[in-house]
Chains A and B, each alone.
Chain A
């Protein structure tokens, strides 16, 4: 394949040539399909005792049953939905707050920039778990929303710092000055030059943040700070299986596998996205 052909290929064509993207898309797509399927169908009623207690995986129960005799595969499917919901919500919140603050900091005067940067450093140093506890404590109790907001705010600090650095680098370029001289307003500069130029890197970072958000959600749920029952989060499945890990190890292994698979899938997707999103990258191949 010659260089020219790769350059002129459409984004879709490039996606086909990126095996990491394809692998990631298949894994994440599988989770998405299973998660969405739970809205209309699960193999068993996830709240009902559909088998014996702590059964091993079988044809009837693909992932076995938990200590209450509920079908684990149905619970894990619902866990996919919860994980993807929290991940999406957290990334949307993180991107909205983070990109806005990052751009403001990039354009701000030096004093204002220092204040924002210091604030972001403090927020980054603040553990997500502690932030989540604070938000849970100051609201009516743990819910899907407190988890999304807590993880989203923690995300936003990292996104903001990255946006600030990337935007500053673009702002130093002559084409920004040329554009300013020809009379483009700051908002125009952001829309026409800055966002398109920082988007590839930002997109990859957001995808990585998505993976981290999924892990953070599992940790919060494990500690009882995430979505309360009846939401079947992977973190809570792990926590519930902890007591019986020696008699029925698969109860702890199955949600773990689901979690690891999703995070790996997202990371592969992020890697593939970088190749696709940035047209200047391919000339170095």
Chain B
């Protein structure tokens, strides 16, 4: 199976400083890959570089083949259609991921309309709104009609994250990038969102690039992991293998830290 996203020797520099160095991995359709590491290890930068959305002053080198197209060095204008039909992102903080001055329904509708325009499908209001309600329903939001009419600040954090996922799905992406999607949520909501993401990914045969520093979350959400530290890959492989027999010191530390945290929770009354 040819891979959807294939990264070879990716490096990201800011001025003279290397933030990501020589990172290589690939994601095939239907595959779920976790990018893990501590804060500042270059996880999000790697994901942004993969879709050509690095900020000002950041330079990427190496090779990123995304849906068969070279991203590094490509003009933004050429990347817009590629991104629109291929990738979507779910962010860590659902409040900043939603436009505060737009009702939920309209935000999702914008995404639906963009996608419909690209596919040349009809985009009259009735069709768009039906799809919006269907998407809100798929992410298990109660009373889609009411949510669609709500402002982002009027619904809960978990509901916002579901709305953000609905927006991402509206793009019908082949690759879903989830950048710490559960970090800002409480534990119960975390589990629900993870279950939802897993279900949607397998139903739609999407590839998932899951970015997190939370090992138990990653272990449940993905098949393959890439462990990053200071912008370099220290270990990669199947998630069960990496977590059960970590070969690198850093991964061992991460795993044992997560274990002792879990143990502490179990001992506690």
B56 lies within 8 A of A183 (CB): no
B97 lies within 8 A of A196 (CB): no
A62 interface residue, CB < 8 Å from B? no
Q: Which residues of the other chain, A, contact B168 by a CB distance below 8 angstroms?
A: 178, 182
Residue of B nearest to A180 (CB): B53
A139 interface residue, CB < 8 Å from B? no
- A231 CA to B89 CA, complexed, in Å: 60
Task: Mark each residue of chain A from 193 to 224: 1 if its CB lies under 8 Å from any CB of chain B, else 0.
Answer: 10011000000000000000000000000000
Q: Which residues of the other chain, B, contact A279 by a CB distance below 8 angstroms?
A: 101, 151
B26 interface residue, CB < 8 Å from A? no
A183 lies within 8 A of B93 (CB): no
- A193 CA to B96 CA, complexed, in Å: 12
Among A177, A178, A279: residue with most chain B CB under 10 A: A178
- A169 CA to B37 CA, complexed, in Å: 28
A242 interface residue, CB < 8 Å from B? no
Residue of B nearest to A198 (CB): B101
B114 interface residue, CB < 8 Å from A? yes
Q: Which residues of the other chain, B, contact A247 by a CB distance below 8 angstroms?
A: none
Q: Which residues of the other chain, B, contact A196 by a CB distance below 8 angstroms?
A: 99, 101-102
Q: Which residues of the other chain, A, contact B92 by a CB distance below 8 angstroms?
A: 174
B171 lies within 8 A of A183 (CB): yes
Counting contact residues on chain B (CB < 8 A from A), the size range is 35 or more
Taking a contact as CB atoms closer than 8 A, the residue among A110, A183, A280 that contacts B84 in the complex is A183
B91 interface residue, CB < 8 Å from A? yes
Contacts known (A174-B97, A175-B97, A178-B97); A183 close to B118, Cβ less than 8 A: yes
Taking a contact as CB atoms closer than 8 A, the residue among A110, A181, A183, A184 that contacts B57 in the complex is A110
Residue of A nearest to B100 (CB): A280
A77 CB to closest chain B CB (Å) equals 40
Tally inter-chain residue pairs, CB-CB below 8 A.
81
- A197 CA to B102 CA, complexed, in Å: 9
Residue of B nearest to A193 (CB): B99
Residue of B nearest to A183 (CB): B84
A177 lies within 8 A of B53 (CB): yes
Counting contact residues on chain A (CB < 8 A from B), the size range is 20 to 34
A183 lies within 8 A of B83 (CB): yes
Q: Which residues of the other chain, B, contact A109 by a CB distance below 8 angstroms?
A: 56
A182 lies within 8 A of B96 (CB): no
Q: Which residues of the other chain, B, contact A183 by a CB distance below 8 angstroms?
A: 80-81, 83-85, 114, 118, 171
B218 interface residue, CB < 8 Å from A? no
Q: Which residues of the other chain, B, contact A177 by a CB distance below 8 angstroms?
A: 48, 53, 89, 91
A181 lies within 8 A of B83 (CB): yes
A175 lies within 8 A of B96 (CB): yes
A192 lies within 8 A of B87 (CB): no
A178 lies within 8 A of B56 (CB): no
Residue of B nearest to A182 (CB): B171
Q: Which residues of the other chain, A, contact B115 by a CB distance below 8 angstroms?
A: 182
Taking a contact as CB atoms closer than 8 A, the residue among B91, B101, B114 that contacts A182 in the complex is B114
Residue of B nearest to A176 (CB): B99
- A192 CA to B110 CA, complexed, in Å: 9
B49 interface residue, CB < 8 Å from A? no
B13 CB to closest chain A CB (Å) equals 15
Residue of B nearest to A8 (CB): B149
- A32 CA to B200 CA, complexed, in Å: 59
A125 interface residue, CB < 8 Å from B? no
- A92 CA to B78 CA, complexed, in Å: 36
- A175 CA to B88 CA, complexed, in Å: 11
Contacts known (A110-B57, A280-B153); A181 close to B87, Cβ less than 8 A: yes
Which 5 residue pairs spanning A and B have beta carbons closest together? A183-B84, A174-B97, A174-B91, A182-B171, A174-B96
6 contacts between A and B (CB under 8 A): A174-B97, A175-B96, A178-B89, A180-B83, A181-B83, A182-B88
7 further contact pairs, Cβ within 8 A, besides A7-B151, A178-B88: A175-B96, A178-B89, A180-B53, A182-B167, A183-B171, A280-B100, A280-B153
